[in-house]
């Protein structure tokens, strides 16, 4: 939804639409432990079976994705991804039970945030109010 501010700080009317945005993350000891992007990385690993493919999906270098994965695990103090070396059957990466549970909990926690923000925005910036 787009809303216009009725009057600017100088009293003039403004016709620049506003759109609400909100970012949600979890911290542990002041460090980001989980965010939408980090969860998307974990989901990408689970869906593709590969950190490299998950990084490609998110349009980030492999090294960035690896760094972020290690950072998440370090900040949470739990292993989230299990890897298997290549060979005849091929290697791959999968979320651990803890990783899958964390993604499930994040989705339950963050569900409805955009709708809540939009409702609050409409209440505060209703063009007819």
Of the candidates 57, 103, 53, the residue with the CA atom closest to the CA atom of residue 80: 103
Q: pLDDT grade, residue 18 (50/70/90)?
A: confident
Q: What is the pLDDT of residues 76-128, one digit of tens each?
A: 999 999 998 765 567 789 999 999 999 999 999 999 999 999 999 989 887 55
**Please, what is the average pLDDT of the chain?**
87
Whether residue 10 has pLDDT greater than 70: no
Section 3-13 average pLDDT: 47
Q: What is the pLDDT of residues 41-50, one digit of tens each?
A: 999 999 999 9
pLDDT of residue 88: 58
Whether residue 58 has pLDDT greater than 60: yes
Q: What class, spelled out in words, does domain 31-114 have in CATH?
A: mainly alpha
Q: What residues are paired with 26 via a beta bridge?
A: 34
């Amino acid at each position: 939804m787009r809303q216009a501010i009725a009057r600017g700080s100088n009293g003039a009317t403004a016709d620049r639409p506003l759109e609400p945005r909100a970012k949600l993350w979890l911290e542990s000891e002041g460090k980001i432990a989980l965010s939408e992007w980090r969860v998307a990385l974990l989901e990408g690993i689970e869906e593709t079976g590969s950190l490299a493919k998950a990084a490609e999906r998110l349009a980030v270098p492999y090294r960035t994705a690896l760094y972020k994965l290690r950072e998440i695990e370090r900040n949470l103090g739990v292993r989230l991804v299990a890897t298997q070396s290549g060979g005849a059957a091929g290697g791959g990466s999968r979320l651990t039970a803890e990783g899958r549970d964390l993604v499930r909990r994040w989705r339950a926690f963050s569900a409805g945030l955009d709708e809540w923000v939009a409702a609050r925005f409409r209440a505060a910036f209703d063009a007819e109010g």
